[in-house]
Amino acid sequence: MNQKFWYNGNLIEGDTLELNISDPAFIYGATVFTTLRVYNKSLSHPLTQWEAHCLRLQISLETFEWQFPNRQSLQTGATSLLPYFPVLRITIFPDGRELITSRSLPANLTQRQEEGIAATLAPNKLQRSLPGQKTGNYLGAYLALQQAQKFGASEAILVDHQGNFLETSTGNLWGYKNPYWYTPSLATGILPGISRQLCLSKLNAAKENIWTPDFIKNLEAIAYTNCAVEVIPIHTIILPETQLKFNPKHPALNQLRACFFVS
């Protein structure tokens, strides 16, 4: 299958995009983006959360005083890619240009959802730039994930200077301690994830708090969520001198998974 992507009002066949060498997106990573999973090839499916993703982009663009793209062009571009892959990444440039690419779900997604993954702690110097927004400057999280993979882990957990857990390199954290699900507070400086908000709205018992090292040791289960992979349990957290083990098949994980079903 030939690769296709949408750029600035046009569907393009290929895998190469030409940018001016002075483009702020190239020089500074000056873009905002959102990644969504399209369910049943429909932007209107409730789990696709199309409006929530558009609102995320709008808020970031208003925050940076950048131009919002033509809304109809944005929807036309996304719709044109629906036949190909279920995951869309929508990137907006400061002048309102839109770039929409698509990709498949990870090949090992079902295995990760069922068996869980290992994660490492990232050095506290590796954090996301402007963490309340999804900007094109994702270098801190990218480097953290690269480092985690060198230790045989699949994810990195970002921490602050006090060692408190913040988020993973690609998603929001959840921890279970009977009878509540906990997620780090937005006040800690993390991304207000769309899946995070979905789970907060659907879980019967959920709280936001600060994830100190002592709090984490008492959790029964840990997972992370994002719009593409839904729920991934974490069975092992690799620390400098030890490992923390959690049950990747804890029954409470079904409460999180249920957030991604439509009744």
- Across all residues in the chain, what is the average pLDDT? 96
> Are the CB atoms for 245 and 236 separated by under 8 Å?
yes
CATH of domain 4-103: 3.30.470.10
Tens of pLDDT, residue by residue over 115-133, are 999 999 999 999 999 999 9
> Are the CB atoms for 53 and 45 separated by under 8 Å?
no
pTM for the whole thing?
0.95
- pLDDT for residue 1: 58
- pLDDT for residue 169: 97
- Overall average pLDDT of the 229-234 stretch: 98
- pLDDT for residue 250: 98
Judged against a pLDDT cut of 90, whether residue 2 lies above it is answered with no
Judged against a pLDDT cut of 70, whether residue 216 lies above it is answered with yes
Residue 190 pLDDT class (50, 70, 90 cuts)? very high
Residue 206 pLDDT class (50, 70, 90 cuts)? very high
Judged against a pLDDT cut of 70, whether residue 262 lies above it is answered with yes
- pLDDT for residue 241: 87
**Please, what CATH class does the domain formed by 109-258 belong to?**
alpha beta
> Are the CB atoms for 165 and 211 separated by under 8 Å?
yes
- pLDDT for residue 202: 97
Minimum mean pLDDT range among 1-5, 63-67, 157-161: 1-5
Per-domain boundaries in the chain = 4-103, 109-258
- pLDDT for residue 11: 97
Share of the chain above pLDDT 70, in %: 100
Judged against a pLDDT cut of 70, whether residue 47 lies above it is answered with yes
